[in-house]
Amino acid sequence: MEVHKINTPLILGNKTYKDITDDVTAPIKNKAGKLWWFAFLLSFSAFLAGVGAIVYTISTGIGVWGLNNTVSWAWDITNFVWWIGIGHAGTLISAVLLLFRQKWRLSISRSAEAMTIFAVIQAALFPIIHMGRPWLMHWMFPLPNTYGSLWVNFNSPLLWDVFAISTYFLVSLMFWYVGLIPDFATIRDRAIKPFKKHIYSILSFGWSGKAKHWQRHEEVSLVLAGIATPLVISVHTIVSFDFATSIIPGWHSTIFPPYFVAGAIFSGFAMVQTLIIIMRKVANLKNYITIYHIQMMNKVILVTGSIVGLAYATEIFMAWYSGVELEQYTLINRATGPYWWAYLTMVLFNVLSPQLLWFKNLRSSIVFTFILSIVINIGMWFERFVIIVTSLHRDFLPSSWRMYSPTYVEVLIFIGTLGFFFTLFLLYARTFPIIAQSELKTILKEENSIAKNKQANQSKEIK
């Protein structure tokens, strides 16, 4: 007798179309609980502390940071690259997996897209603050000016960052908003208060659910996905050029572009895991964000974590193979120098800890996955710190060697961006559907048939 393998269901609980709408819109319709208010007040307090540190930095000067002539890039650029990396997974989950028709993305894509936008906002803050005179930030753009033929330096990778990140942000924002339009219409039709109904009517652009509307919605989504897909590779590649196009040992490496892209996807998926596990519990979405979703994302984390480990090994091998003493010393200094603890943390958290995901019982554990996702993002932060600080603090001349340690102002700015990020995400969860309910309904019939077949087979086995 031929046995047919039954696919793992993506929606549990034999849900109806109405059930999906009720469950997804419940956080918007219902009042916020004590847990949400506690998280919001904590995040907002951290955000206010960061605002105070930023105002103090701008009013006093960059001298309040721990930078020196040798380590002129440190905490701020580390945070910039880290936030850009976190923003990578949203576009990958939404755009790339959409093009490959991966249905497991439906329950997590909306949160990932929002995470991308909020993370890019945090990343954009650091280059502006680091300029020292942020009111002159418009000089970064090739605008007509009154100083004659004064144009920006198009050879500078920092300028490439401006164009790449702004493009990435705009495309991600459009892709996120287009996906939300049908859900806005659903909330509009269920809203009771006139003001709320009017706001969602504006946001839904007159969506009525006609076949023509769905056809155009799908066409626009595919076009934006096609545009966003190369951005997944290009954005962090250009960020890596900030380092790879220099002549500093430890930076000018051809491995940096793919190495940075893999690391960005690695850290981005870890942050998505952190957020969806929290929302899965708080918003009671266990039937939509299942163990299967957690497992699939853990597989991506395992693959990208292995690529990051390979990049570390390749970097060490190429330094040895090149025979360049300065390059070799830089990598030896990373592992055995004053910042050895940061290098050890990077290797343990980014290379060794993801290998535990080879075990299915750990890959399926919610608690382990949540802890691992936080561990990975800590490790990826240390990776950027190691690349930047340990490549700078011991320069070509021993007389110019300097140590670096952050001041409380730098730490508060970073804590402020974390607070800003989670404040935005918490407000988003109370205002927008955190699951793409309209897209999820397209697979409901198939999921219910899978569940019924599974139950029928189980009953046959029992008999």
Structural domains in the chain, sorted by start: 17-135+153-447 (1.20.1630.10)
Whole-number pLDDT of residue 130: 84
Q: Summarize pLDDT for 370-411 with one digit per residue, the tens.
A: 999 999 999 999 999 999 999 999 888 888 899 999 999 999
How far is 270 from 302, CA to CA, in rounded Å?
10
Q: Summarize pLDDT for 298-345 with one digit per residue, the tens.
A: 999 999 999 999 999 999 999 899 888 888 999 999 999 999 999 999
Whole-number pLDDT of residue 347: 94
- What's the chain's average pLDDT? 84
Whole-number pLDDT of residue 462: 54
The answer, yes or no, to whether residue 149 has pLDDT greater than 90, is no
Q: In terms of pLDDT, which residue wins out, 340 or 29?
A: 340
Q: Summarize pLDDT for 210-222 with one digit per residue, the tens.
A: 888 888 888 888 8
Q: In terms of pLDDT, which residue wins out, 141 or 430?
A: 430
Q: Summarize pLDDT for 239-271 with one digit per residue, the tens.
A: 888 888 888 888 888 889 999 988 888 998 899
Q: Summarize pLDDT for 263-302 with one digit per residue, the tens.
A: 888 998 899 899 888 888 877 788 888 888 899 889 999 9
Q: Summarize pLDDT for 151-209 with one digit per residue, the tens.
A: 667 777 778 888 888 888 888 888 888 888 888 888 888 777 888 888 888 888 888 87
Question: Are 432 and 114 spatial neighbours (Cβ–Cβ below 8 Å)?
Answer: yes
Q: Summarize pLDDT for 56-70 with one digit per residue, the tens.
A: 999 998 889 999 888
Q: Summarize pLDDT for 426-437 with one digit per residue, the tens.
A: 888 888 888 877
The 3-class SS string of the chain reads CCCCCCCCCCCCCCCCHHHHHHHHHHHHHCCCCHHHHHHHHHHHHHHHHHHHHHHHHHHHCHHHCCCCCCCCCCHHHHHHHHHHHHCHHHHHHHHHHHHCCCHHHCCCHHHHHHHHHHHHHHHHHHHHHHCCCHHHHHHHCCCCCCCCCCCCCCCCHHHHHHHHHHHHHHHHHHHHHHHHHHHHHHHHHHCCCHHHHHHHHHHCCCCCCCHHHHHHHHHHHHHHHHHHHHHHHHHHHHHHHHHHCCCCCCCCCCCHHHHHHHHHHHHHHHHHHHHHHHHHHHCCCCCCCCHHHHHHHHHHHHHHHHHHHHHHHHHHHHHHHHCCHHHHHHHHHHHHCCCHHHHHHHHHHHHHHHHHHHCHHHHCCHHHHHHHHHHHHHHHHHHHHHHHHHHHCCCCCHHHCCCCCCCHHHHHHHHHHHHHHHHHHHHHHHHCCCCCHHHHHHHHHHHHHHHHHHHHHHHHHHC
Whole-number pLDDT of residue 2: 38
